[in-house]
Structure 1
């Protein structure tokens, strides 16, 4: 399981706790939000490599390459 998926599972667990523990609902929702933010950070970690188009006719620009970490 990758980091993003693990964070999403943890966020879901806190959302479920919020439903079953109304007395501490806000606390569990805050925790769920923290884990969702971590999941977003994990999914944004990528390396982008780009090459410049030299402008000559008939040449196709190179596409950027994304690699998930």
Structure 2
């Protein structure tokens, strides 16, 4: 289980406590909000990787070559 999912599950648990314990509802909701914020923070830290194949590198080089041949716009 990733960190974001774990934080969301913890927030759900505190929301359930808020429903079950009306006397401490605000306290449990505050805890749920903290865990939701941690889940959002974890979402922002996701690493994205790509695999660069030789074909992809050749296509990228061809695109760069085409762009370098474009005439400059008139100022």
Query: What TM-score do you get using the length of structure 1 for normalisation?
Result: 0.69
Aligned to 1:30: 30
Compute the RMSD of aligned alpha carbons: 2.6
1:56 is aligned to 2:67: yes
Aligned residues: 55
* Unmatched segments (≥5 aa) in structure 2: 50-62, 70-75
Compare CA radii of gyration and give the structure with the larger one.
2
Aligned to 2:73: none
Higher helix share: 2
1:46 is aligned to 2:46: yes
Higher strand share: 1
Query: What TM-score do you get using the length of structure 2 for normalisation?
Result: 0.63
Name segments (4+ residues, structure 1) moved above 2 Å.
46-49
